[in-house]
Amino acid sequence: MIDLHLHLDGSLTPADILRLAELSGISLPQQTEDALRPLLEVTPGCRNLVEYLEKFDLPLQVLQSSQTIALSVYFLLRRLKADGLCYAEIRFAPQLHQKCGLSQEQVVSAAVDGLNKGIAEFGMPAQLILCCMRGDSNRDANMETVRVAKAFLRKGVCALDLAGNEYAYPTNTFADIFAYAKELAVPFIIHAGEAAGAESVWQALSLDAKRIGHGVRSIEDPGLVKKLAQLQMPLEMCFTSNLQTKAANEQDYPLCDYLQQGICVTINTDNMTVSGTDLRTEYRLLQKQFGLSADTLEKLCCNAADSAFLTEEQANALKAQISRNFAQWLA
Protein backbone atom coordinates (compact mmCIF):
# COMPACT_ATOMS: atom_id res chain seq x y z
CA MET A 1 0.00 0.00 0.00
CA ILE A 2 3.11 2.20 0.05
CA ASP A 3 5.49 2.57 -2.89
CA LEU A 4 8.73 4.36 -2.06
CA HIS A 5 10.62 3.57 -5.28
CA LEU A 6 8.45 4.67 -8.17
CA HIS A 7 9.66 6.45 -11.30
CA LEU A 8 7.23 8.87 -12.91
CA ASP A 9 8.32 8.40 -16.52
CA GLY A 10 8.37 4.62 -16.20
CA SER A 11 4.87 4.41 -14.75
CA LEU A 12 2.67 6.27 -17.23
CA THR A 13 0.11 4.13 -19.02
CA PRO A 14 -0.21 3.98 -22.83
CA ALA A 15 -3.43 5.97 -22.46
CA ASP A 16 -1.52 8.64 -20.53
CA ILE A 17 1.16 8.78 -23.22
CA LEU A 18 -1.44 9.20 -25.97
CA ARG A 19 -3.08 12.08 -24.11
CA LEU A 20 0.20 13.79 -23.31
CA ALA A 21 1.41 13.41 -26.90
CA GLU A 22 -1.78 15.03 -28.15
CA LEU A 23 -1.25 17.99 -25.83
CA SER A 24 2.41 18.20 -26.86
CA GLY A 25 1.70 18.05 -30.57
CA ILE A 26 4.00 15.05 -30.87
CA SER A 27 3.42 12.32 -33.44
CA LEU A 28 3.87 8.91 -31.81
CA PRO A 29 5.14 5.87 -33.72
CA GLN A 30 1.90 4.07 -32.78
CA GLN A 31 -1.57 5.49 -32.21
CA THR A 32 -3.33 2.89 -30.05
CA GLU A 33 -2.75 1.71 -26.50
CA ASP A 34 -2.10 -1.90 -27.54
CA ALA A 35 0.38 -0.86 -30.21
CA LEU A 36 2.19 1.52 -27.84
CA ARG A 37 2.59 -1.00 -25.03
CA PRO A 38 5.59 -2.86 -26.54
CA LEU A 39 7.40 0.47 -26.83
CA LEU A 40 6.88 1.18 -23.13
CA GLU A 41 7.18 -2.26 -21.52
CA VAL A 42 10.18 -4.59 -21.49
CA THR A 43 9.91 -8.09 -22.89
CA PRO A 44 10.99 -11.28 -21.09
CA GLY A 45 14.15 -11.14 -23.19
CA CYS A 46 15.44 -7.94 -21.55
CA ARG A 47 19.19 -8.45 -21.16
CA ASN A 48 20.32 -5.77 -18.70
CA LEU A 49 19.69 -2.37 -17.13
CA VAL A 50 20.85 -0.47 -20.22
CA GLU A 51 18.23 -2.19 -22.36
CA TYR A 52 15.62 -1.64 -19.64
CA LEU A 53 16.35 2.09 -19.57
CA GLU A 54 15.61 2.39 -23.31
CA LYS A 55 11.89 2.20 -22.49
CA PHE A 56 12.07 5.68 -20.96
CA ASP A 57 12.82 7.39 -24.27
CA LEU A 58 9.21 7.67 -25.45
CA PRO A 59 7.68 8.91 -22.17
CA LEU A 60 10.36 11.60 -21.90
CA GLN A 61 9.40 12.93 -25.34
CA VAL A 62 5.94 13.90 -24.07
CA LEU A 63 7.13 15.30 -20.73
CA GLN A 64 8.75 18.52 -21.90
CA SER A 65 6.11 21.14 -20.99
CA SER A 66 4.73 22.41 -17.71
CA GLN A 67 1.26 21.21 -18.70
CA THR A 68 2.25 17.63 -19.49
CA ILE A 69 4.55 17.31 -16.48
CA ALA A 70 1.78 18.46 -14.13
CA LEU A 71 -0.73 16.15 -15.78
CA SER A 72 1.63 13.17 -15.63
CA VAL A 73 1.94 13.44 -11.85
CA TYR A 74 -1.82 13.88 -11.56
CA PHE A 75 -2.45 10.83 -13.79
CA LEU A 76 -0.05 8.72 -11.74
CA LEU A 77 -1.67 9.70 -8.44
CA ARG A 78 -5.03 8.76 -9.90
CA ARG A 79 -3.64 5.36 -10.87
CA LEU A 80 -2.10 4.79 -7.45
CA LYS A 81 -5.30 5.70 -5.67
CA ALA A 82 -7.24 3.26 -7.87
CA ASP A 83 -4.67 0.59 -6.98
CA GLY A 84 -5.40 1.09 -3.28
CA LEU A 85 -2.19 2.79 -2.21
CA CYS A 86 -2.19 5.05 0.83
CA TYR A 87 1.15 6.83 0.22
CA ALA A 88 3.84 7.10 -2.45
CA GLU A 89 7.10 8.86 -3.16
CA ILE A 90 7.42 9.58 -6.89
CA ARG A 91 10.81 10.26 -8.42
CA PHE A 92 12.00 11.86 -11.64
CA ALA A 93 15.03 13.76 -12.97
CA PRO A 94 14.26 17.45 -13.67
CA GLN A 95 17.25 17.76 -16.01
CA LEU A 96 15.65 15.28 -18.43
CA HIS A 97 12.63 17.56 -18.96
CA GLN A 98 14.42 20.64 -20.32
CA LYS A 99 14.48 19.95 -24.07
CA CYS A 100 11.89 22.65 -24.77
CA GLY A 101 13.47 25.34 -22.65
CA LEU A 102 12.06 24.78 -19.17
CA SER A 103 14.35 25.44 -16.24
CA GLN A 104 14.65 22.75 -13.59
CA GLU A 105 12.75 25.03 -11.22
CA GLN A 106 9.89 25.29 -13.72
CA VAL A 107 9.88 21.51 -14.19
CA VAL A 108 9.61 20.88 -10.47
CA SER A 109 7.05 23.63 -9.97
CA ALA A 110 4.85 21.97 -12.59
CA ALA A 111 5.26 18.57 -10.95
CA VAL A 112 4.32 20.04 -7.57
CA ASP A 113 1.22 21.60 -9.13
CA GLY A 114 0.17 18.18 -10.43
CA LEU A 115 0.97 16.62 -7.08
CA ASN A 116 -1.11 19.11 -5.14
CA LYS A 117 -4.05 18.76 -7.52
CA GLY A 118 -3.92 14.98 -7.24
CA ILE A 119 -3.66 15.01 -3.45
CA ALA A 120 -6.60 17.40 -3.20
CA GLU A 121 -8.77 15.36 -5.56
CA PHE A 122 -7.83 11.81 -4.58
CA GLY A 123 -7.00 12.29 -0.92
CA MET A 124 -3.81 10.22 -1.11
CA PRO A 125 -0.65 11.77 0.36
CA ALA A 126 2.46 11.67 -1.81
CA GLN A 127 5.78 13.45 -2.21
CA LEU A 128 8.38 13.92 -4.95
CA ILE A 129 12.01 12.80 -5.08
CA LEU A 130 14.34 14.59 -7.51
CA CYS A 131 16.91 12.43 -9.27
CA CYS A 132 20.41 13.51 -10.08
CA MET A 133 21.70 11.49 -13.04
CA ARG A 134 24.81 9.40 -13.47
CA GLY A 135 26.95 10.75 -16.29
CA ASP A 136 30.31 12.35 -17.02
CA SER A 137 29.24 15.76 -18.35
CA ASN A 138 26.25 16.83 -16.27
CA ARG A 139 27.78 17.96 -12.98
CA ASP A 140 26.30 21.45 -13.27
CA ALA A 141 22.85 20.02 -13.95
CA ASN A 142 23.16 17.75 -10.91
CA MET A 143 24.22 20.65 -8.72
CA GLU A 144 21.20 22.59 -9.96
CA THR A 145 18.97 19.63 -9.04
CA VAL A 146 20.33 19.81 -5.49
CA ARG A 147 19.57 23.54 -5.29
CA VAL A 148 16.06 23.06 -6.65
CA ALA A 149 15.43 20.23 -4.19
CA LYS A 150 16.38 22.58 -1.38
CA ALA A 151 14.03 25.27 -2.69
CA PHE A 152 11.08 22.84 -2.79
CA LEU A 153 11.98 20.78 0.28
CA ARG A 154 8.84 20.11 2.36
CA LYS A 155 6.88 21.94 -0.35
CA GLY A 156 6.16 18.78 -2.33
CA VAL A 157 9.74 17.49 -2.52
CA CYS A 158 11.13 15.23 0.19
CA ALA A 159 14.55 14.06 -1.02
CA LEU A 160 17.15 13.61 -3.75
CA ASP A 161 18.25 10.44 -5.53
CA LEU A 162 20.99 9.31 -7.91
CA ALA A 163 19.76 7.26 -10.87
CA GLY A 164 21.07 6.01 -14.21
CA ASN A 165 23.68 3.52 -15.37
CA GLU A 166 25.32 2.52 -12.10
CA TYR A 167 27.78 0.15 -13.78
CA ALA A 168 29.23 2.78 -16.12
CA TYR A 169 29.30 5.63 -13.58
CA PRO A 170 30.41 4.50 -10.08
CA THR A 171 28.65 5.93 -7.06
CA ASN A 172 31.71 7.54 -5.50
CA THR A 173 32.15 9.67 -8.64
CA PHE A 174 29.28 11.79 -7.33
CA ALA A 175 30.63 12.43 -3.83
CA ASP A 176 30.73 16.20 -4.38
CA ILE A 177 27.06 16.26 -5.39
CA PHE A 178 25.99 14.67 -2.15
CA ALA A 179 28.43 16.65 -0.03
CA TYR A 180 26.59 19.69 -1.37
CA ALA A 181 23.24 18.08 -0.55
CA LYS A 182 24.41 17.48 3.02
CA GLU A 183 25.57 21.09 3.25
CA LEU A 184 22.04 22.18 2.29
CA ALA A 185 20.44 19.59 4.63
CA VAL A 186 18.66 17.80 1.77
CA PRO A 187 18.23 14.07 2.50
CA PHE A 188 19.03 11.65 -0.28
CA ILE A 189 18.71 8.11 -1.54
CA ILE A 190 21.17 6.44 -3.93
CA HIS A 191 20.46 3.70 -6.47
CA ALA A 192 23.10 1.11 -5.60
CA GLY A 193 23.64 -2.63 -5.64
CA GLU A 194 21.63 -3.10 -8.84
CA ALA A 195 23.80 -2.95 -11.99
CA ALA A 196 26.91 -2.77 -9.80
CA GLY A 197 27.70 -4.95 -6.81
CA ALA A 198 28.18 -4.57 -3.08
CA GLU A 199 30.96 -1.99 -3.41
CA SER A 200 28.43 0.46 -4.85
CA VAL A 201 26.31 0.06 -1.71
CA TRP A 202 29.33 0.61 0.52
CA GLN A 203 30.00 3.82 -1.39
CA ALA A 204 26.38 4.94 -0.94
CA LEU A 205 26.67 4.34 2.80
CA SER A 206 29.92 6.32 2.95
CA LEU A 207 28.09 9.26 1.36
CA ASP A 208 25.38 9.05 4.07
CA ALA A 209 22.45 7.95 1.92
CA LYS A 210 19.25 7.62 3.96
CA ARG A 211 17.95 4.69 1.88
CA ILE A 212 19.38 2.39 -0.77
CA GLY A 213 17.57 2.13 -4.08
CA HIS A 214 17.43 -1.61 -4.79
CA GLY A 215 20.45 -2.97 -2.87
CA VAL A 216 19.68 -6.44 -4.18
CA ARG A 217 23.34 -7.29 -4.78
CA SER A 218 24.36 -6.43 -1.20
CA ILE A 219 24.14 -10.18 -0.58
CA GLU A 220 27.48 -10.54 -2.39
CA ASP A 221 29.27 -9.21 0.75
CA PRO A 222 28.29 -10.79 4.11
CA GLY A 223 29.96 -7.91 5.91
CA LEU A 224 27.76 -5.44 4.08
CA VAL A 225 24.64 -7.43 4.94
CA LYS A 226 25.55 -7.22 8.61
CA LYS A 227 26.23 -3.50 8.31
CA LEU A 228 22.88 -2.85 6.65
CA ALA A 229 21.14 -4.72 9.47
CA GLN A 230 23.11 -2.83 12.10
CA LEU A 231 22.21 0.51 10.56
CA GLN A 232 18.62 -0.54 9.85
CA MET A 233 19.23 0.93 6.42
CA PRO A 234 16.07 0.65 4.32
CA LEU A 235 16.42 -1.21 1.03
CA GLU A 236 13.95 -0.28 -1.72
CA MET A 237 13.65 -3.70 -3.34
CA CYS A 238 11.83 -4.09 -6.66
CA PHE A 239 11.39 -7.81 -7.40
CA THR A 240 10.09 -7.82 -10.98
CA SER A 241 12.41 -5.03 -12.10
CA ASN A 242 15.44 -6.71 -10.49
CA LEU A 243 14.73 -9.90 -12.44
CA GLN A 244 14.22 -8.00 -15.70
CA THR A 245 17.50 -6.06 -15.42
CA LYS A 246 19.34 -9.26 -14.43
CA ALA A 247 20.39 -7.72 -11.12
CA ALA A 248 19.21 -11.01 -9.57
CA ASN A 249 17.55 -14.23 -10.59
CA GLU A 250 14.35 -15.71 -9.22
CA GLN A 251 15.91 -18.69 -7.48
CA ASP A 252 18.57 -16.71 -5.62
CA TYR A 253 16.62 -13.54 -4.89
CA PRO A 254 17.91 -12.53 -1.43
CA LEU A 255 14.69 -11.28 0.18
CA CYS A 256 14.47 -14.08 2.75
CA ASP A 257 18.18 -13.81 3.53
CA TYR A 258 17.75 -10.12 4.22
CA LEU A 259 14.70 -10.71 6.40
CA GLN A 260 16.53 -13.38 8.41
CA GLN A 261 19.42 -10.96 8.94
CA GLY A 262 17.02 -8.28 10.21
CA ILE A 263 17.46 -5.81 7.34
CA CYS A 264 14.75 -3.21 6.83
CA VAL A 265 13.33 -4.31 3.47
CA THR A 266 10.61 -2.44 1.58
CA ILE A 267 8.73 -3.67 -1.50
CA ASN A 268 8.27 -1.38 -4.49
CA THR A 269 7.45 -1.41 -8.20
CA ASP A 270 10.26 0.75 -9.67
CA ASN A 271 8.38 1.32 -12.94
CA MET A 272 4.84 0.05 -13.19
CA THR A 273 4.55 0.34 -16.95
CA VAL A 274 8.09 -0.57 -17.98
CA SER A 275 7.99 -3.63 -15.71
CA GLY A 276 4.33 -4.44 -16.38
CA THR A 277 3.45 -4.61 -12.72
CA ASP A 278 1.76 -2.88 -9.79
CA LEU A 279 2.35 -2.97 -6.06
CA ARG A 280 -0.32 -5.56 -5.26
CA THR A 281 1.16 -7.84 -7.92
CA GLU A 282 4.62 -7.48 -6.39
CA TYR A 283 3.37 -8.51 -2.94
CA ARG A 284 1.47 -11.48 -4.37
CA LEU A 285 4.48 -12.62 -6.41
CA LEU A 286 6.70 -12.52 -3.33
CA GLN A 287 4.06 -14.31 -1.26
CA LYS A 288 3.92 -17.11 -3.82
CA GLN A 289 7.64 -17.30 -4.56
CA PHE A 290 8.86 -17.33 -0.96
CA GLY A 291 5.85 -18.55 1.00
CA LEU A 292 5.70 -15.35 3.04
CA SER A 293 3.03 -15.10 5.69
CA ALA A 294 0.43 -12.34 5.71
CA ASP A 295 2.07 -10.96 8.87
CA THR A 296 5.47 -10.77 7.14
CA LEU A 297 3.98 -9.02 4.14
CA GLU A 298 2.23 -6.51 6.37
CA LYS A 299 5.51 -5.92 8.22
CA LEU A 300 7.21 -5.16 4.90
CA CYS A 301 4.52 -2.57 4.21
CA CYS A 302 4.98 -1.06 7.67
CA ASN A 303 8.73 -0.91 6.99
CA ALA A 304 7.89 1.39 4.10
CA ALA A 305 5.91 3.67 6.39
CA ASP A 306 8.80 3.84 8.85
CA SER A 307 11.29 4.49 6.01
CA ALA A 308 9.32 7.23 4.28
CA PHE A 309 10.35 10.87 4.50
CA LEU A 310 7.59 11.62 6.99
CA THR A 311 7.24 12.64 10.61
CA GLU A 312 6.83 9.92 13.22
CA GLU A 313 3.20 10.97 13.65
CA GLN A 314 2.54 10.65 9.91
CA ALA A 315 4.26 7.26 9.75
CA ASN A 316 2.23 5.97 12.69
CA ALA A 317 -0.97 7.11 11.02
CA LEU A 318 -0.01 5.20 7.87
CA LYS A 319 0.77 2.06 9.87
CA ALA A 320 -2.62 2.25 11.54
CA GLN A 321 -4.19 2.51 8.09
CA ILE A 322 -2.14 -0.47 6.89
CA SER A 323 -3.25 -2.53 9.89
CA ARG A 324 -6.90 -1.83 9.10
CA ASN A 325 -6.78 -2.40 5.36
CA PHE A 326 -3.81 -4.57 4.36
CA ALA A 327 -5.51 -7.98 4.36
CA GLN A 328 -8.37 -6.73 2.24
CA TRP A 329 -6.02 -4.91 -0.12
CA LEU A 330 -3.87 -8.00 -0.69
CA ALA A 331 -6.80 -10.41 -1.14
- Give long-range contacts, CB 8 A cutoff, 24+ apart: 78-81: 78/118, 78/121, 78/122, 79/11, 79/13, 79/272, 80/3, 80/124, 80/126, 81/122, 81/123, 81/124
Measure Cα distances from 285 to 45, 127, 282 in Å. 19, 26, 5
Domains in the chain and their CATH numbers?
A: 2-330 (3.20.20.140)
What's the pLDDT at 263? 98
pLDDT mean for each 10 residues of the chain (331 residues): 98 96 91 92 86 91 97 98 98 98 98 98 97 96 98 98 93 96 98 94 98 97 98 98 93 95 98 97 96 96 98 98 97 92
Q: What is the pTM of this model?
A: 0.97
What's the pLDDT at 45? 82
Partners of 190 in beta bridges = 212
Amino acid at residue number 203:
Q
C-alpha 290/C-alpha 199 separation (Å) is 27
- The residues assigned a catalytic role are 194
What's the pLDDT at 172? 94
CB count within 10 Å of CB 326 equals 22
C-alpha 178/C-alpha 174 separation (Å) is 7
What's the pLDDT at 160? 98
What's the pLDDT at 130? 98
What's the pLDDT at 43? 87
What's the pLDDT at 53? 87
Residues in the chain, total: 331
C-alpha 248/C-alpha 250 separation (Å) is 7
Work out the angle at residue 93's Cα, subtended by the Cα atoms of residues 92 and 99, and round it to the nearest 5 degrees: 120
What's the pLDDT at 307? 98
What's the pLDDT at 29? 87
The string of pLDDT tens digits covering residues 64-95 is 999 999 999 999 999 999 999 999 999 999 99
